[in-house]
Chain A
Amino acid sequence: MIISKKTKEQIAFAIFRILGIITLGVLIWILGFICFNGISVMSWDFIFSYPEEGMTSGGIFPAIVGTLYLVLGSIIIAFPLGVMSAIYTVEYAKNNWVTKLIRIMTNNLASIPSIVFGLFGMTLFVNTLAFGDSIIAGSLTLSLLILPVVIRTTEEALKAVPNTYRTGSMALGANKIQTIKRIILPTAFPNIITGLVLSIGRVSGETAPILFTVVAYFLPKLPSSIFDQVMALPYHLYVLATSGTDIEKSRPVAYGTALVLIIIVLLMNTVAGVIKNQFQKNKK
């Protein structure tokens, strides 16, 4: 039997459509499952109170605060560094072996598994620099992880600024720094922020790099300095799911923690999307 090329096309397209639907279905399944099970424990109390009875009830406040500190700490380190690095490679560096080497290194940094960052953070920040298990050690480790993300998005944002802007500014007598400060950075700003927002989502969910650099199983009070340990949402979920005092009884708290993590990621992705859309509209 000869199948006409029209039928072949219909069959092929149907298969691709089904693959697309399955992929979307898996996402909806995961999100739906977590939301459906997590929504019942979700309340202000859950977010703003401490764990109770061996973490089988009560809230996750210290873990939320800990994750917040880690996000802040790593952003403060990685964001300026990444943006400056990108400005150098796009605006200053000539296309020579130095630029090439930096690009290769950035790519490699992005491909290193997160657990390797954890090992590195442990030897350098925790042991060699003697920070101990602390917010500062954890933030430094996490900042290395998001550095390539910040660099790459900033580079793309800077490259998207039309060259006429640069020559126009120069023609008016501005020097390079003035051009970058007054023209290029304001134009590229929304896209740079997208990278920042996405890396917030990334940092809040990472577990492996903080395992040996900052995180604690349970702390009765909030940290008072950057040399204290903290609890963190992803590690909290890991502990509750695998080795809590009573795994069955702590399941609801685990679902709730997973839901909070998902909400953070969802929120960050939405914010990034909105900024990007706004930017594209303004450009038109």
Chain B
Amino acid sequence: MNKVLEKFVESLLKMSSAVTGITVLLIIIFLFKEGLGLFKSSTVEKGYTLVVNTQNPVNRLTSVEIKEIFDSEIENWKDVGGSNDDIRIFRFDEIFTMYSDEELGDGYSLLPQKLGEIIQSDSTIIAFLPLKYVPKNMSGIKELKTDIISISDFFLGTTWLPTATPSALFGILPLIVGTLLVSFIAIIIAIPFGVGVAIYLSEIASEKVRKVMKPAIELLAGIPSVVYGFFGLVVVAPIVQKVGGLTLGETAFTGSLILAIMALPTIITISEDALRNTPKAMRDASYALGANRWQTIYKVVIPYASSGISAAIILGIGRAIGETMAVLMVTGNAAVMPHSLFESVRTIPATIAAELGEAPGGGTHYQSLFLLGCVLFLITLIISIISEKISGRKIIKE
């Protein structure tokens, strides 16, 4: 009986420890399942299509071309491989200003017919129509072929306009650049403080000071990110605005400052552990050679702990890259390619947090946000693997 119970308990414990592994796998499966559908979708909004006159030699438009045509940045067909004619944009709503409801018939039954006539009569027209009102079996009109969203559009595209009509743009490059910019500047600010405080705590500070500092740093790690964001919004952003003479205080730099504070506890605790792990024999040997404490610290202790310190810094970067709420609140959230530190930027996590609520489930926008989640997941995974590799390696120079 006892044997059975013991086996049962053991397998129960085994199962619960398998949960973390299963969770990681499930996260990967679900995120990619939702996200990868994006690469099968058309760039044009679901349920809509673009229609032109058959005399128009253009058969296919890229998503960027569609966007520029409808933004009136391209105004002539020859820019997209057609004849030298001005483009006439026809939006679906215009039909209601041209015809009254009675003329369009019962339940808009005559609507496709009227739309067809308009397109037939003008070889320079491009019409953006709901699929269900596209005239069927009518000569003189053709639907334009549009691109399927490609992997390179996604990763190398420089415009993030996921809700633009008629053609949404899913270029995540500005978001990646924004994320890396904010995080790296944050770490550059955090390194001297993080490593400095770690050295101070492990080598210099008295037991009394440590008793105050250690809980303080734990508290710094415990403050919720939304409180950091709030503090950044009401205190740091106005200071950045005033000092920099800017029109807006919510910039990449503001985000970096807040992230630097948030990454500090990670860097300090892990570096301190690494510094403390330096064997006493190595310090004693250094003292015996006549070195004083500072010489021992920077010639013996820091080199010995360097792999641990680098791992701490890399983990700090990972923290910063994944941080959502604080960054969302203080960086101003403009999803454009950043040109300087003192402009508003948008990071990957902030984009997901800000847009997922409004993205209709299963649509391309929704899928693109999940794909962003995958990208974020992979970036942090790589970072955590690198830091593990580094901290596992003990460098002892001979």
Contact = CB atoms under 8 A, between A and B. Distances in A.
Contacts of A163: none
B20 A102 contact: yes
Interface stretch (A2-10, A48-56, A68-76): A2-10
A84 B12 contact: yes
Interface stretch (B74-82, B93-101, B133-141, B200-208): B200-208
Interface in A8-66: 8-9, 12-13, 15-17, 19-20, 22-24, 26-27, 30-31, 33-34
A127 B294 contact: no
Nearest to A87: B13
Nearest to B321: A113
Contacts of B220: 23, 26-27
Nearest to B295: A5
Interface residues of B, number: 86
Contact of B14 (A6, A22, A92, A116): A92
A107 B391 CA distance: 13
A128 B34 CA distance: 11
Contacts of A118: 352-353, 356
Nearest to B385: A108
Contacts of A176: 6
Interface stretch (A182-190, A220-228, A262-270): A262-270
B384 interface: yes
A187 B194 CA distance: 35
Interface string B352-389: 11001100010000000110010011001101100010
B332 to A, nearest CB: 11
A101 B19 CA distance: 12
B313 interface: no
Contacts of B216: 24, 27
Nearest to A110: B384
B260 to A, nearest CB: 9
A17 B204 contact: yes
Interface stretch (B22-30, B46-54, B111-119): B22-30
B2 interface: yes
A24 B294 CA distance: 23
The 3 closest A-B pairs by CB, nearest first: A205-B224, A113-B322, A19-B196
Interface of B: 2, 5-6, 9-10, 12-14, 16-21, 23-24, 26-27, 30-31, 33-34, 192-193, 196-197, 199-201, 204-205, 209, 212-213, 215-220, 222-231, 233-235, 261, 264, 268, 292-295, 297-298, 315, 318, 321-325, 329, 349, 352-353, 356-357, 361, 369-370, 373, 376-377, 380-381, 383-384, 388
22 contacts: A9-B292, A9-B294, A23-B193, A88-B14, A89-B17, A101-B21, A102-B20, A106-B20, A112-B27, A116-B377, A124-B26, A124-B30, A148-B20, A204-B224, A205-B224, A205-B226, A211-B356, A234-B226, A234-B325, A241-B226, A241-B230, A241-B234
Given A23-B217, A30-B228, A30-B261, 12 more contacts: A19-B193, A20-B201, A92-B10, A105-B21, A107-B384, A113-B377, A115-B352, A204-B224, A208-B225, A212-B357, A241-B229, A258-B230
